[in-house]
Amino acid sequence: MRTDSKIAIVGQGYVGLPLAVLTSNAGYFTIGIDTDQVKVMALKSGKSYIEDVGDAHIQEVIASGRYQPSSDYSLIAGADIVVFCLPTPVDTENQPDLSILLHAVNKAAPHFREGCVVISESTSYPGTLRNLIAPVINSHGKSAVRLGVAPERVDPANTSFMPNQIPRLVSGLDSEATERVKEFYESLGMIVITTSTPEVAEAAKLLENTFRQVNIALVNEFAKVATALDIDVREVIEAAATKPYGFMKFSPGPGVGGHCIPVDPHYLTWISKKHGFQASLVELANEINDEMPKYVVSRFVELFPDGVARKQILIAGIAYKYGVSDFRESPALKIISLLNDMGAHVSWYDLLIREHRGENSSDLESAHDGVVVTLPKLELPLGRWVSSGVKVFDCTGFYGDVEGLHQL
């Protein structure tokens, strides 16, 4: 692609903002569209709200003139490439909710230039590009637009793999679209793998995260079995992991969180049912991981013979994983809710989240009767807590060298 091409990226979150920085650094003039005015103002002032993108990165691409954050969809006009990086959550019934994505496509479509390439990085079920996105675009008389998918593979706070080290699956509704999407991602230094249809790429993304959901559910269930047998589940996992083939290590925890693993498998089960098949194993994995906060609370409450009512309880970590400020679907929030329902006085601490629902991160020096640790790598006074009689339940296994902890 020409380096003077104009790129528009709709959605400046954990997926879209790193992509915008990447395209800007590759020499493209990039428009970053987001409807959140607070985010847009932060970006214009050179401030990042995402851990993987530093303030210096934003300031550099803005100063270069290659990046313009805005809420104005009309700035998409003239773009050679338009990429949608928007959340695709589930509703209260765990049904796919594509309203954010389709609303954005509907707002952006009038501004597509003839022959531009439109790419969806948003995760969804097979057929979304062909059966939902394409009709919306065609309804605006933009049938000459080339459509493709490139499902995102972002893992926030993972420093082991840079974006250009993670192969990208791409495909288009026709061969020209496929080639142009491939060319775009290759111009960013990425390894690109094409699939025969967009449906294959869309399905692969669901399989990737469903694989993780199912295997996490397996070790979470195995943790319950190991507890019943009075066996250290993590020692068992480490022993099994010495096998050089046929085994992949997963670790138990308080549940799953974030925008992918708790959500994507529901897209798979939903589309399966639409086609007359029930994905029973996937549904069971969803249930097992959804129930883990209840299991954690039940184990924790056992440490208090007279119950947790009126006890001062601290939850150490409310983000869904270490190193991010994202608490979407975090199991820690479910643990807080369950303990509140039991009459406990619950506070929380998080390294990156300072405020949530009108509450501030707690002082670690405050007095606590019990602590539930949901994230690894936190600098916590565990030894002092345990020696002073505080009941500490570690969901992570990271702090196993501290004597006196109770572990999942």
260 classed as catalytic: yes
Question: Exposure pattern of 206-241 as b/e (b: 16+ CB <10 Å)?
Answer: bebbbebbbebbebbbbbbebbeeeeebbebbeeee
- What's the token pair of residue 307? 């119950």
- What's the token pair of residue 226? 């190991």
C-alpha–C-alpha distance, residues 91 and 89, integer Å: 7
C-alpha–C-alpha distance, residues 148 and 305, integer Å: 59
188, 24 contact by CB (below 8 A): no
Which entry of 85, 116, 260, 395 is annotated as an active-site residue?
Answer: 260
Cβ partners under 8 Å of residue 26, min gap 6? 3, 187, 188, 189
C-alpha–C-alpha distance, residues 255 and 162, integer Å: 27
- What's the token pair of residue 21? 């920085």
Q: How far is CA 87 from CA 4, 63, 281, 328, in A?
A: 29, 29, 25, 11
Which residues are part of the catalytic machinery? 260
